[in-house]
Amino acid sequence: MTAYFERVDDYRWRIPQHRGMRVPGLVFSSEAMLSSIEDDRSPDQVVNVAHLPGIVGHSLAMPDMHWGYGFPIGGVAAFDPEEGVLSPGGVGYDINCGVRLMRSNIPREEITSVLAELATALYREVPCGVGTKSELRLSKPELEAVLREGARWAVQRGYGTNDDLAVLEEGGVMSSADPDKVSQRAKDRGRPQLGSLGSGNHFCELGYVAEIFDAAKARAFGLELGKVTVMIHSGSRGLGHQICDSSLHRMVRASAKYGIELPDRQLCAAPLSSPEAHDYFGAMGSAINFAFANRQVMAHQARKAIARQLGDTPQGLGLSTVYDVCHNIAKWETHEVDGVQRRLCVHRKGATRAFGPGHEAVPKRYRDAGQPVIVPGDMGRYSYVLAGTERAMKETFGSSCHGAGRRLSRVKAKRAAQGRQLFRELEDKGVFVRADSRRTMAEEMPEAYKDVADVVDVMHEAGIATKVAKLIPLAVVKG
C-alpha cells in the first residue's frame, strides 16, 4: 500500500483517502525532510491507521515520524467512543515512555570543572542498562500501590515533593489503572526495576539553557539563560513491555471476534466498549503509573547526586521539576471536532501532548503560556522546550513531536560507528558520557538521529508548538 502526498502548505502534507481509508492522512514535515520520510515505510502506516473503525479527523504523523509497530512512531489518532477501537500498536511496547525536565539556579560555569565527576555521580545513582535492577526492593503490596498511585506513591515515600506532582501530566497518576488486569509475569518483570533507566534511547542528561526564544514563556517555565537543567527519558521498563506483548495476543483474537478488518495485523484492536479494551485500559493505566513513579524516583536520585557532588541541597540549588510528558499512551480527552466538543480516545505513539494556553489540564502556573513540550535531541547536539498552542488543539488533538526521530537503524548505526572513539569524540565536544555498554553508544550516536532542530522548526512554523528554549548537553548517562 503506497502513500501519495498532496501539499497543503510548507509544513503540511495530506494523504488523500484511498483503498478503504476512513479519513485522510496528514503528515507534518518540511519539503526537505519529506524525501527521507518517503524512503521509510512509515507513510504507509499512516494510511493503515486511517482504516481503523471510528477514527476521527485525520490519521496524523509528526515530523519525527519513522517506522514503528503498527502505528508509525510519531503517529496520532483519535477514536469515537461508540464506533472506535483501542489498539496497543497505537501505544507501543514502552508504555508511558516519557521525559522529565528539571531546572536549577546553578550557573553552567560553576560546574565546568567537575563535569566528569557529576557524570560519574549520576551514573552511580541512576541505574541503567538492559534488565537493570534498582536498589528498591518492593514487596508485592508495594508494587500494587505503585501501579495504582503512580508518582504519588513515590512522593509519599520521600522521593520528591508535592510540588513535583503539580507539574506532571495527569498529576502523575492515571485513575483508570487496575493492577488486577496486569499479569503476574509483568509484575515480576517490573518489581525489581522501579527507579532505573533501562537501555536504548533512555538517558539522564545534565545540560544548560543555551538560548531563549520566548522570554515570557521561559520565565513562566522557570528557565534561565546559562542555568543547568536535568532531563530524564525513560518509561515502564519490562512491566510495560510485557503488558503490551500479552495484550497484542488477546487483541488479535478480539479483531477476529468483532469482525475488524485490518490492513496490518500489528494494528489489532478491540472496540472501545468491549471487555478487551476495558482490560487493556486497566493494565495500560497501571504501566503508565509505574512509569510516572519510575521517573519520580530517578529524578529524586539525580537531584541528590548533584547536590551531594556540589556540597548543597536540591532546594538550595533550585532543582525543581518543570514538567513531565508522556509519549506512548492512549487516553480519553475532550476535543472540538467540526465545532462540536467530543469525548475521544487519543492514541499518541511517539508523540507528546501539547495543550494550548487556558486549557484546564495545563498546570495553573503555565496556563497563560501553554503546556511545556519537552523534545530531546541526540546526546551530542541539543534539545528543545516548546509550548503547546491553540492551533494544536484544533489540528492535532493537542499533540506535537516527541524527539528527533531515528535516521539510521540500530544495525546501521553500529556499522557506522566501527573504529570510532565515540566517548572521546563527545568529550572533545564538552559532553561527558557514562554508558553501560559500547554497543549502546554506537546505536545511540548523534548521527543515528535526525537533527532535532529541523523537527522542531516544523512544529514551530506550523504553529503546533512554539519554541521556548534550547538546551545543550554537558553530561549524559546511557543504558
Give the active site residues: 402
Cell numbers found for residue 66: 519513522
Whole-angstrom distance, CA of residue 432 vs CA of residue 378: 14
β pairing state of 25-28 and 55-66:
parallel
Strands annotated E in 40-183? 55-66, 73-79, 85-86, 98-107
Radius of gyration of the chain (CA): 21
CA nearest neighbour of 331 among 31, 32, 40, 95: 95
Whether residue 190 contacts residue 236, with contact meaning beta carbons closer than 8 Å, is answered with yes
3-state secondary structure of 26: strand
**Burial of 315 (C-beta count, 10 Å sphere; 0-12/13-18/19+):** exposed
In SS3 terms, 371-382 reads as CEEEECCCCCCC
Neighbours of 253 (CB within 10 A): 12
Q: Which residues contact 466 (CB under 8 A, 6 or more apart)?
A: 213, 214, 217, 370, 386, 387, 389, 460
Pure H helices in 388-436 = 390-395, 410-417, 422-428
379: left (phi over 0), alpha (psi -120 to 50) or beta: alpha
